[in-house]
Amino acid sequence: MPPVAVASRRQTSDYLADQSNIVRRLVFRLVRKHIAGTTTGSVLRGVKQLNDRKLHATVTFLSENATNANKIRYNINTYVQFIRQISRLNLNADISLRLSQIGYKADREGCERGLDQIVGIAGKSDVKVWIESEDWIPTRDVLELISRRHNAAETLGIEIPIVGHRIERSAFSGIKNIRLTSYTSGGSGGSGKDIMRYYLSGIKVLGRRGGITVLEPDAKVIQKLVDRQKSYKRDIVFEVPLGYSNKRMNRLSKMKFNMSVYVPYGNDWIPYAIAKLTEGHIRDIARAVLDGEHKRGSNVQ
């Protein structure tokens, strides 16, 4: 290839890389309040700030689906070390992970060994481990995985989307920690009225006094649920995503229910932002731009 053509291709590549970085920085400004930084240090500081406000935190590490053995081991070690750090610092926090992060797709047995390692450390540290819902992993498979770990019943919890899932009480026999959420793979699904109906139905079917967490981004839905039943204040933990305004948080805090904040951190924030962040027109813009960036990055060898 002629030197001029090589130079031209290099310039084009550098230009696209610069544009990509500019796009990422601009969009990150839209979503950064929802993400506790990219390092363990930054999220530990964020958790401490929440704890200082008498708020519990549930932390998740933003990492793409792992199929490479080194990446899987890195993700497992990240969760293990994080649990040790929150225990050492006496922070009030749990963790939330996806099975795909620890190799479920590539090596199911290895994934379960990694989960056992994480759960073992978490159990000793009095930290819950939530297994998040993923569309391609059947809920029954996750329930079976949890039920086989009888000694970890107090530590392990499962996340169930209320939209598009039928909740049957018998299926959750022996499962002590259940997190209901209106989030779907495409964001929060359904109208506020529909979501309220789904939550009420799910809570009624489960019919338990404790062990239920509701992860809900809409403060109005939370307020309606709390107003609906006095027992919910005592029996249910309501979790909101990081990024609520101080005004919203203060309004919720005055309701005096069990409250937690879902805290994501890490470099791989784009898929999370596509699926779950921002509102209204900003959501449309951010998701369109980020989706293009995500696909571009996925194609890079």
Residue-wise pLDDT for 4-54, tens only, equals: 544 455 544 444 444 556 656 666 666 788 899 989 999 999 999 999 999
| C-alpha angle 136-142-144 in degrees, rounded to nearest 5 | 135
- Please indicate, yes or no, if residue 24 is contained in any of the structural domains: no
For 200-244, how does the pLDDT look when each residue is reduced to its tens digit (9 = 90+)?
Answer: 999 999 987 678 999 999 999 999 999 988 889 989 999 999 988
- Please indicate, yes or no, if residue 18 is contained in any of the structural domains: no
More confident call, 15 vs 258: 258
CB 291 within 8 A of CB 87: no
pLDDT of residue 117: 98
Domain that holds residue 174: 36-294
pLDDT of residue 12: 47
pLDDT of residue 7: 47
For 145-201, how does the pLDDT look when each residue is reduced to its tens digit (9 = 90+)?
Answer: 999 998 999 999 999 999 878 888 888 988 999 999 998 765 555 677 899 999 999
pLDDT at 299 over 70: no
- Please indicate, yes or no, if residue 183 is contained in any of the structural domains: yes
Q: What is the pTM of this model?
A: 0.84
- Please indicate, yes or no, if residue 15 is contained in any of the structural domains: no
pLDDT of residue 31: 74
Q: Measured over all CA atoms, what is the biggest interatomic distance in the chain, rounded to whole angstroms? A: 76
- Please indicate, yes or no, if residue 112 is contained in any of the structural domains: yes
pLDDT of residue 269: 82
pLDDT of residue 115: 98
For 106-140, how does the pLDDT look when each residue is reduced to its tens digit (9 = 90+)?
Answer: 999 999 999 999 999 999 999 999 999 998 999 99
- Please indicate, yes or no, if residue 2 is contained in any of the structural domains: no
- Please indicate, yes or no, if residue 29 is contained in any of the structural domains: no
Domain count for the chain, please give it: 1
Q: Are strands 236-241 and 56-61 parallel, antiparallel or unpaired?
A: unpaired
Q: Which residues of 94-129 are buried (b: 16+ CB within 10 A; e: fewer)?
A: bbbbbbbbbbbebbeebbbebbeebbebbbeeebbb
Entry field: residues in the chain: 301
Which of 50-64, 78-92, 165-179 bottoms out in mean pLDDT, i.e. has the lowest?
165-179
- Please indicate, yes or no, if residue 27 is contained in any of the structural domains: no
Residue 142 sits in a domain of what CATH number? Answer: 3.20.20.220
